[in-house]
Amino acid sequence: MVNASKPASIWNAAMATIEKLGRGPRLAGFAMLSSAGIRCIVQRQSTDCNGRQVRLRLNAIPKLRSSLRDSAVSQSEESTHCGRSQHRVSMFRMQTVAFIVVAAAGLWLVGVALLMALRPRRSLDLLGLMVKKLSAAKWPVTLTEQGLRILAGAALIVRSPASKLPGLFAIAGWLLLITSVLVIVVPGRWHVAYGVWWFSKLTPGIVRALAPVPAVVGGGLIYLAS
């Protein structure tokens, strides 16, 4: 049995407890319990308006604990859902960037194919110019060229799960990455000699005959990545 002078103290103690529970990061939802529900519990433990004593209702305590437990579970599920949503947004952004890089590489290959088909001699002149620049300033040209290939390879690997041929995309991406690193590591004169060898073997007729190859590869990259 409780005295009539205790409702205020019971009320203050209940509100102080809820306030303390609300300060914790996992129990922030506890503080959202309505004051009407707490007042109901306090009234059940106090006296009525005529001063007559009433029996303490202990069955209200399990209900309070159940409400607090449900609030904690709800907040935990909400936090988990929020984390999964953020992960999906990050993956979507990565996939979008990877698709843009792959599509840009495909368009570049299609442009090279058009140049090879329409202006084969001009294509050879550009190849010879690149070989000369590579001989004069090896590292800047090599790092720029291989850096772009590494970027394309990484984009293929990232985009592979969303592509139409995931295995092919992953293999092509890793091949680009590995060969690019090897070109950077090996002596620069080997790279220059490789370019000179190709330049000496190619003719305008061969360049024009090979034009469909980069066109098919570039168009296939765009189609398979979409």
pLDDT in tens, 161-198: 999 999 999 999 999 999 999 988 888 788 788 888 88
Average pLDDT (29-41) is: 45
Higher pLDDT, 133 or 207: 207
Q: How far apart are the first and last CA of the chain?
A: 74
DSSP structure class, residue 28: G
Res 181: pLDDT: 92
Query: Which band of pLDDT confidence, cut at 50, 70 and 90, is reported for residue 28?
Result: very low
pLDDT, tens digit (0-9, with 9 covering 90-100), for 94-104: 999 999 999 99
What span, in angstroms and rounded, lies between the C-alpha atoms of 173 and 72? 46
Higher pLDDT, 80 or 4: 80
Res 27: pLDDT: 43
Q: What is the 3-state secondary structure (H, E, C) of 133-180?
A: HHHHCHHHHHHHHHHHHHHHHHHHHHHHHHCCCHHHHHHHHHHHHHHH
Average pLDDT (77-102) is: 81
What are the Cα distances from residue 55, in Å, to 2, 13, 15, 38? 8, 19, 22, 17
Query: Which band of pLDDT confidence, cut at 50, 70 and 90, is reported for residue 33?
Result: very low
Backbone angles phi, psi at 96, to 5 degrees: -65, -45
Res 26: pLDDT: 42
Residue 127 identity: L
Res 41: pLDDT: 46
Asked if 123 contacts 189 with a C-beta cutoff of 8 angstroms, the reply is no
Higher pLDDT, 20 or 54: 20
Average pLDDT (110-118) is: 95
Under 8 Å CB-to-CB from 2, ≥6 apart: which residues?
10, 45, 46, 47, 53, 56
Higher pLDDT, 143 or 171: 171
Outline where the chain has alpha helix (H): 7-23, 35-45, 60-118, 120-136, 138-159, 166-185, 188-201, 204-209, 212-225
Asked if 150 contacts 180 with a C-beta cutoff of 8 angstroms, the reply is yes
Res 20: pLDDT: 55
Under 8 Å CB-to-CB from 78, ≥6 apart: which residues?
none
Under 8 Å CB-to-CB from 212, ≥6 apart: which residues?
113, 117
Percentage of the chain with pLDDT > 70? 62
Query: 């303390």: which residue's tokens?
Result: 20
What span, in angstroms and rounded, lies between the C-alpha atoms of 94 and 159? 8
Query: Which band of pLDDT confidence, cut at 50, 70 and 90, is reported for residue 223?
Result: very high
